[in-house]
Structure 1
Amino acid sequence: ALVCFAVVFGISGLIGNLGPAEILMFVTGVVLLLLEIFIIPGFGIAGIAGFLLILGSFVFSQQDFYWPEFDWQWTIAWRNIGIVGISIIGGIFSIGVIMAALPRAGLFDRLVLHGQGDPGYAGKNKHRKGEKISGAAPETSSDKVSEPFPPGSIGTAITDLRPVGKVKIENRTVVAETDGEYYDKGTQVVVLRIDGVKVVVSAREE
Structure 2
Amino acid sequence: MGFLAWWAQAEAFIAQPWVTILLLVAACLLLFHEMLTPLTWGLTGNLSVVFFALVLLAHAVSGVGVLVLIGGVALLLVETHLLPGRGIAAFVGFGLIFGGIYLSLSDGPKHLNSAFSLATAAAVTVFSVVTFLAYLPKSPVWKQLGRELYAQSVGAEFVRDLPQDWLGKRGQVATPLRPVGVVVIEGRQLTVVTEGDFLEPGIEVQITEIIGDRIVVDPIAALATA
TM-score (norm 1): 0.44
Judging by fraction of residues, say which structure has more helix.
Answer: 2
Larger relative contact order, structure 1 or 2 (CA cutoff 8 Å, min sep 6): 2
TM-score by length of 2: 0.40
Structure with larger Rg: 1
